[in-house]
Structure 1
């Protein structure tokens, strides 16, 4: 199933998307599951299947304002430097790292597919980072790698937008440059694990104005999905609806000479063949 969140008359709804349109689950099972996060947390996938089976679409997909699939995850984890070629970009002759680099993003820093991502007033260095995202479906702590995939509800996509000059404001962190409001995006939907096996392999492609800038496969991850889930759950409880952006391949704008920063009017697309396309235009912060 492809599950997504969106606005209807300014109010958040969620539903199931297919090639014909969107079946609104909010109007069918919203009393039991008021949002997509509650459906994930309370094992509501079977109810969603029953409610949508044989139903005519309520909405045309291209007429909806999409939200991030889980509009307010409790935790949005982001993994840095997770593809082997990405590690080599640093040109410091370092060995592959033993543990992943990671940070967190605020939900307000991302928008849904089709919405404008904002170039900040205070910086000209907005950059793209296309990533695959794991969506947690089952709570856990100290999760063994052998059990990790059973905790995945599904997958989605992220443009983990970064404001590069602000990444260096602090000596030991990147939080500032990773949390500008509306600087990134997640979506367009969650593809559930029975349709998109998280074991993969999964491709990931990022395009800017139709030009391929990033392209790789999860076969080349230094820290695969099961390791990330096990590692994160060692120190934090993973909860339904939590998201893990699993790292970006080589080819971000900062790596060009001269750098190729995003500017208003640019269109960024992040694609994976078994998930779909996350597409956003760049707009100026108002």
Structure 2
């Protein structure tokens, strides 16, 4: 079964959101924007399924070629990323430690991401732009100290992320990676949001990253060290999750930093992140102008 695809976009100088159909985009923001200015408010209202039902019989308002993809949730309150979350990725650290008891977390800012089919931007400060393909969960029902058993009831939608990283800048200081994770437009989220329906969408799906058609990362979510349930439970222990919060859930082994010598992304490269049932997030690379 194909799930609805909700896109955030810019067109003719304004931003909006809509439902992607075969012939183009049904402009939902034109119809519902006064109550729900962005997909964040749609999610907060619990209206994704309702809007998809209402829109499926409508014609496209404009072709896809007229829009620029934006990140699906334009201004989430929180954008939290999980660090080492696949067994082979843990082994890369060669510190002799088994899988950690708790997930490593860091924060990214929305402007560090761009949309599908947009270039990731390599800054002049470093050539070490790297890729990390990941699955995104978007919170639909907020909560604090959410039990693992109920955790997935709090998920509204799924998406993909290329959690682009400036590698030398994550090692600038002793205790954090924030600087190397937050250069403007070094990562991407998208192409769209797929409504979350049941656990089969997440339990054992393949996640892969290709660079110029070559598979660099490939693993399955069933092998994650910290399950989606555990991630939600752990994060909600120390902070209240709210609708529209974005959680980026970890990348498999195979990033460019792990090659000998490392293979950094360069202008002209094409990176694709793909997951079963969610889609393909595609970006080129460009130097900052």
Matches of 1:282 and 1:45 in 2, distance apart?
Answer: 32
How far does residue 21 in structure 1 lie from its aligned partner after superposition?
2.0
Correspondent of 1:138 among 141, 148, 152: 141
* Change in 2 beyond 3 A, CA 1:126/1:251: same
Please state whether the residue corresponding to 1:118 is helix, strand or coil. Answer: strand
- Verify: 1:129 aligned to 2:137, yes or no: no
What residue in structure 2 maps to residue 228 of structure 1?
A: 231
* Change in 2 beyond 3 A, CA 1:96/1:195: closer
TM-score, structure 1 as length reference: 0.97
Matches of 1:59 and 1:240 in 2, distance apart?
Answer: 29
How far does residue 49 in structure 1 lie from its aligned partner after superposition?
2.8
Matches of 1:128 and 1:218 in 2, distance apart?
Answer: 18
How far does residue 62 in structure 1 lie from its aligned partner after superposition?
3.6
- Verify: 1:190 aligned to 2:193, yes or no: yes
- Verify: 1:174 aligned to 2:200, yes or no: no
Correspondent of 1:68 among 71, 79, 86: 71
What residue in structure 1 maps to residue 44 of structure 2?
A: 41
Gaps of 5+ in 1: none
How far does residue 18 in structure 1 lie from its aligned partner after superposition?
2.6
Which whole-Å deviations, capped at 9, do the CAs of 1:142-195 have from their partners, x for residues lacking one?
100011000000110000000000011111000000000000000000100127
- Verify: 1:6 aligned to 2:13, yes or no: no
Q: Is the contact between residue 27 and residue 60 of structure 2 (CA under 8 Å) also seen in structure 1?
A: yes
Matches of 1:217 and 1:122 in 2, distance apart?
Answer: 34
* Change in 2 beyond 3 A, CA 1:9/1:63: closer
RMSD: 1.3
- Verify: 1:120 aligned to 2:123, yes or no: yes
Please state whether the residue corresponding to 1:188 is helix, strand or coil. Answer: strand
Please state whether the residue corresponding to 1:135 is helix, strand or coil. Answer: strand
How far does residue 46 in structure 1 lie from its aligned partner after superposition?
4.4
* Change in 2 beyond 3 A, CA 1:191/1:50: closer
- Verify: 1:153 aligned to 2:156, yes or no: yes
Correspondent of 1:216 among 216, 219, 223: 219
Q: Is the contact between residue 267 and residue 281 of structure 1 (CA under 8 Å) also seen in structure 2?
A: yes
Q: Which runs of 4+ in 1 moved over 3 A?
A: 195-199
What residue in structure 1 maps to residue 272 of structure 2?
A: 269
How far does residue 34 in structure 1 lie from its aligned partner after superposition?
1.5
* Change in 2 beyond 3 A, CA 1:16/1:195: farther
Gaps of 5+ in 2: none
Q: Is the contact between residue 40 and residue 243 of structure 2 (CA under 8 Å) also seen in structure 1?
A: yes
TM-score, structure 2 as length reference: 0.96
Number of positions where the alignment pairs a residue of Structure 1 with one of Structure 2: 286
Which whole-Å deviations, capped at 9, do the CAs of 1:108-144 have from their partners, x for residues lacking one?
0000001111001010100000000111001100100
Q: Is the contact between residue 29 and residue 51 of structure 1 (CA under 8 Å) also seen in structure 2?
A: no
Matches of 1:156 and 1:180 in 2, distance apart?
Answer: 21
How far does residue 201 in structure 1 lie from its aligned partner after superposition?
1.5
Q: Is the contact between residue 140 and residue 237 of structure 1 (CA under 8 Å) also seen in structure 2?
A: yes
